[in-house]
Amino acid sequence: MGLFLVSRSFHTPLLRGLLWIIAPVVTAFGFYVGAVLFARLGGSGRLRVRRVYLYPLVGCSVGAAVVFPFGAMLIVFGMCLGGSLGMLVFEIVGFRGFAAGREE
């Protein structure tokens, strides 16, 4: 986001729109990397990319879409909250699967 703000005056409207659209994708990737590092350092093994990445991607996208009408710069807060909630849902689903005896 800092790079986006610093280079803001050089962007065309099309490029600016594209950057706003890919912001949730990049933010969700950050949540994914954090989850993978936590799993590897914790010794719980490998995580499936699609399975882990889907939750924060949906959360960040919904968070950005909900907050965008109030101001484009506020999507950062929406993505943070949405991505965190997405990871919380991922952990709850994973824990329920573990408790049911089908650990993945």
> Could you tell me the residue range of the domain that residue 83 belongs to?
12-99
**2 found inside a domain:** no
Kindly report, residue by residue over 55-104, the tens digit of the pLDDT.
Answer: 999 999 999 999 988 987 788 899 999 999 999 998 888 777 666 665 55
**Lowest-confidence segment of 2-16, 24-38, 67-81 by average pLDDT:** 2-16
The alpha carbon torsion through 51, 54, 56, 60 (nearest 10 deg) reads 180
**How many domains, the chain?**
1
Cβ 69 vs Cβ 45: under 8 Å? no
**94 found inside a domain:** yes
Q: Is the pTM of this model over 0.85?
A: no
